[in-house]
Amino acid sequence: MKLGTLAACLSLALGASAFAQTTTLKIGYATTKESHYGVGSTVFCDEVEKGTQGRYKCQHFPNSALGGEREQIEAVQLGTQDLVNTSTGPVGNFVPEVKIVDIPFLFRDYDHARKVMDGPIGQDILAKFPSKGIIALAWTENGFRHMTNSKRDIVKPSDAAGLKMRTMENKVHMDGYRTFGILPTPMAFPELFGALQQGTVDGQENPIPVILSAKFAQVQNHLSLTAHVYSPALLLLSPRVWNKLSDADKKVFVEAARKAGAAQRKKVNEDENNGIAQLEKDGMKVIRKVDGAAFRDALKPAYAGYAKEFGADNIKKISDVQ
């Protein structure tokens, strides 16, 4: 009887201990759970739960439920939020070295961009985060950004002149867009749909997966495939969580983030391949051929500023990656 009681007590104690050790992490992102951000975040969370035998699991907060990206990064830095899957747009305000990847027309295509992010240049940037109070687990992806608006087709920079375009709170983007004659209007993503609906801004620029998941076809009728900026994204973790992890768990988190990045890129590819036709079905007029040379030419004054800020050699190193 005593042995049975002891066994029962041990069983209860072990059960309580296992229950107590389950930590639920809050992960936030700007778009829906079905979007590329949702896909990457779900893979990350599933891999972490599996790799830690259920000691860590996630609660998702899609659709900017925890605030705009900048607010979420601040919360991760402060330790009031555990994880954010974010575009690099506001990240340069925290880790200035990130800003270089936001230069317009820096990347030729997805292959070039991904090689840079996965290679020494991208990995060196990730290493800058801990000193700023943030752990960058891996690069994920947002995609190449394209312009939409409610006024007219954009084929060359002069077509964009005078348009009030919502941009991220990102000086590198804004300096570039001004050379096209655009009036950049920084605004947090959660406010954007309403601003487009009300005509507070004429247009916005985002990758196809975001344009799709945010249903911008309901409030924008012109889409130009400008691919003017490659928008990487990042899976950021609070040091408050990281510092509690064992070395083995740290490896699980990093590997889970790597798999999340691969899944997110795959979803971006799928959305790029299928999404443009869907947006046309939804009523958008799509300009597939824009005058890329004219856009690059218009950017020359901004590039002089970028060379001064980031170093011409550093920009060239990225351009030269094959």
Instruction: Show the low-confidence residues of the chain (pLDDT under 70).
Output: 1-20
Q: Among residues 306, 307, 292, 318, which one has the least CA distance to residue 175?
A: 306
pLDDT at res. 169: 84
Judge contact between 228 and 105, C-beta under 8 A.
yes
Q: Among residues 5, 22, 97, 31, which one has the least CA distance to residue 56?
A: 22
Domains of the chain: 21-320 (3.40.190.170)
Identify the three-state secondary structure at position 240.
helix
Spatial distance between the Cα atoms of 106 and 116, rounded to a whole number of angstroms: 11
> Strand 203-207 relative to strand 164-167: parallel, antiparallel, unpaired?
parallel
pLDDT at res. 18: 46
Per-residue pLDDT tens over the stretch 204-239? 999 999 999 999 999 999 999 999 999 999 999 999
pLDDT at res. 253: 98
CB burial of residue 133 (10 Å; 0-12, 13-18, 19+): middle
